[in-house]
Structure 1
Amino acid sequence: MSSAKRRFWMEASVVPQEKGDYGVALDGRLIKLPGGHLLVVAARALADAIAEEWRAIPPDSLFDASALPLTRMTGTMIERVAPDLDAARGTLLNFGLSDLLLFREETLRDIQSVLFDPPVDAFSERYGVRPRVTFSIVPDTVETPVKATMSRILAGMDAAALASLGVLVPALGSLILGIGLLEGWVTETAACDAAFLDERTQMRRWGEDTELLDDLASRAADVETGLKFWQLSLRKD
């Protein structure tokens, strides 16, 4: 949905499918995604949340994709991520190779240590490799063992996890933070505090910037949606 449309349905419902999957239907007809696939997911909780997005649109009102973030993420998972998992993994790995947490500024050294070191430490303890932090003007490349570890982590992820990271990682600028959110060793608040440090520092120095505030709000909403999508995908009840 690239432009506004008007609500045309009376009822949004969840319809059990074969093999234990769940489809989302409008007036009894399964939603068809832009690429022609039906909107069918494995987790009942996710299907329920998607149906609720469609129910929440007021009757006869105009709406666009921004009103349906979980629907949009599910469509991305089904039509873009699942058909080519390796491409999704490669895109995410590129974020990891220039991870926000690994490239520091001398002027922000102290506060970056407070916000960036805990997730880097947790990653190191969990996976047995420690990414190198640099203060160089020209960023270093991520060491081969760290790159190999990131690749291995991504190789073990399914389409739902990769779709979640596909929203979380660009919003945060950090594959480490994204992995931490999925695995539960980084909180949503800690991730956003680290990811938004530079912008918030700028505004403390120069005053609030409406455009920057809007961007942070949009990225925070993406983080919330990406994490919610993952948590719902895990629930099989």
Structure 2
Amino acid sequence: MIRRFYKDVTLGAQPGGYQVLLDGRGVKTVGGAAQIVPTEALGEALAAEWRRQGDKIDPTSLPLRDMADYAIDVVTPDPAAIADGLIAYAETDTLCYRADPDEPLHAHQQAVWEPLLTAFEAAHGITLVRVSGVLHRPQPEATLAVLRQRLAALDHFVLAGVETMTTLAASLVTALCALDAGHEDEPRALWEAVCLEEEWQADLWGRDWEAEERRARREADFLRAYSFARLAQI
């Protein structure tokens, strides 16, 4: 931790967006770029993180700042590379891979995951291949092309949030469903859905507190990434 070196936190309008000002000086990214975000809502959330600091600055309590740095320093220079990585997740999306039909878990996956997938397919006009077992089957090129177009249309800050959600869930479908959520409870419900197999195994074999803590941290990170992406759009 370092000692707090500023008194006032304000938000200034800049060309292209908003920037947090510490005693009138604009915050910069780790890479040295001006940390300008696209919306006032996201800027205010970043400012709130700085205002919450005490006599010493705790870097771990500035997660939105870190995500903004990532969006500017990593995503913006090469958004196509980020999209390529996300398409790789679409090829092996968690929601498409089910247990064998004769296993009890399969029926549970069908009940929870199938409505999500069919709604996603209808919304995007695509078809996703379902797989029983772990043997890989490729997704249709037409489906991947539509998903590439969707990702290419996203603001770089939104794309950063989608990438974090996707990697945590091992599911691009889940991340894009969260992005389109119409109710604030939907992202948490989506996270619970994608953790269905983990919960199934925990109920079957017993719960381990370390695993429970890891899952809770991942959930918090997922919901934070959702909030970051949402704030970057309003």
Question: Is 1:135 matched up with 2:149?
Answer: no
Structure 2: gaps (5+ residues): none
Cα distance, 1:145 vs structure 2: 2.1
Corresponding residue for residue 118 of structure 1: 115
Question: Is 1:13 matched up with 2:10?
Answer: yes
Partner letter of residue 190 of structure 2? A
Q: Residue 57 of structure 1: which of 53, 56, 68 is its match?
A: 53
Question: Is 1:94 matched up with 2:88?
Answer: yes
Corresponding residue for residue 172 of structure 1: 169
In 2, are the aligned partners of 1:127 and 1:149 still within 8 Å (CA)?
Answer: yes
Question: Is 1:103 matched up with 2:125?
Answer: no
In 2, are the aligned partners of 1:120 and 1:130 still within 8 Å (CA)?
Answer: no
Relative to structure 1, is the Cα distance of residues 185 and 134 closer, same or farther in structure 2, using a 3 angstrom cutoff? farther
Relative to structure 1, is the Cα distance of residues 152 and 192 closer, same or farther in structure 2, using a 3 angstrom cutoff? same
In 1, are the aligned partners of 2:164 and 2:222 still within 8 Å (CA)?
Answer: yes
Corresponding residue for residue 160 of structure 2: 163
Cα distance, 1:62 vs structure 2: 4.7
Partners of 2:141 and 2:48 lie apart in 1 by 45
Partners of 1:42 and 1:192 lie apart in 2 by 26
Q: Percent identity among equivalent residues?
A: 28
| Structure 1 counterpart SS, 2:21 | strand
Corresponding residue for residue 77 of structure 2: 83
Aligned residues: 229
Cα distance, 1:53 vs structure 2: 0.5
| Structure 2 counterpart SS, 1:54 | helix
Task: State TM-score, norm by structure 1.
Answer: 0.90
In 2, are the aligned partners of 1:22 and 1:40 still within 8 Å (CA)?
Answer: yes
Corresponding residue for residue 27 of structure 1: 23
Partners of 1:230 and 1:146 lie apart in 2 by 23
| Structure 2 counterpart SS, 1:138 | coil
In 2, are the aligned partners of 1:12 and 1:27 still within 8 Å (CA)?
Answer: yes
Partners of 1:141 and 1:16 lie apart in 2 by 46
Runs ≥4 in structure 1, deviation > 6 angstroms? none
Cα distance, 1:141 vs structure 2: 1.7
Partners of 1:128 and 1:39 lie apart in 2 by 37
Structure 1: gaps (5+ residues): none
| Structure 2 counterpart SS, 1:132 | coil
In 2, are the aligned partners of 1:172 and 1:191 still within 8 Å (CA)?
Answer: no
In 1, are the aligned partners of 2:10 and 2:24 still within 8 Å (CA)?
Answer: yes
In 1, are the aligned partners of 2:188 and 2:223 still within 8 Å (CA)?
Answer: no
Task: State TM-score, norm by structure 2.
Answer: 0.91
Relative to structure 1, is the Cα distance of residues 95 and 185 closer, same or farther in structure 2, using a 3 angstrom cutoff? farther
Partner letter of residue 147 of structure 1? L
